[in-house]
Amino acid sequence: MVNLVDPTSKPKPWLASAWTFSTDYKSITLTVRDGVKFSDGTAMTADDVAYSFQILKQYTALNINALPIDTVTTSGNQSR
């Protein structure tokens, strides 16, 4: 889990195998860990991660951490 309040903290990787913050800490690139599956057995993808952030952007009432989400993109197994 990434602590978005303090990006220098030691996160515990559950769903991402890597994450990289931009130099200004305004964006993050998450690499989806291989082998993560939903309860129905389907694989979790970068599109699933992007969808979660897109929902927070679209429905601001759900964005309880007030993350300033501008754009959400995917490329391969990465979401940004």
What is the CATH architecture assignment of 16-79? Alpha-Beta Complex (3.90)
Report d(CA 61, CA 63) in Å as an integer: 5
Question: Two tokens at 71?
Answer: 């754009």
Predicted local confidence at residue 7, as pLDDT: 65
Phi and psi angles of residue 18, each rounded to the nearest 5 degrees, phi first: -160, 155
Query: Using one digit for the tens of pLDDT, what is the confidence trace for 23-69?
Result: 998 888 999 988 999 999 999 999 999 999 999 999 999 999 998 99
pTM of the predicted model as reported, rounded to 2 decimal places: 0.74
Alpha-carbon dihedral of residues 70, 29, 2, 39, nearest 10 degrees?
100
Angle at Cα 17 formed by Cα 68 and Cα 67, nearest 5°?
Answer: 10
Would you mind telling me the total number of residues written for the chain in this entry? 80
Cα radius of gyration rounded to whole Å, the chain? 13
Question: Two tokens at 76?
Answer: 């391969």
Predicted local confidence at residue 54, as pLDDT: 94
Assess whether pLDDT exceeds 80 at residue 22: yes
Query: Using one digit for the tens of pLDDT, what is the confidence trace for 51-63?
Result: 999 999 999 999 9
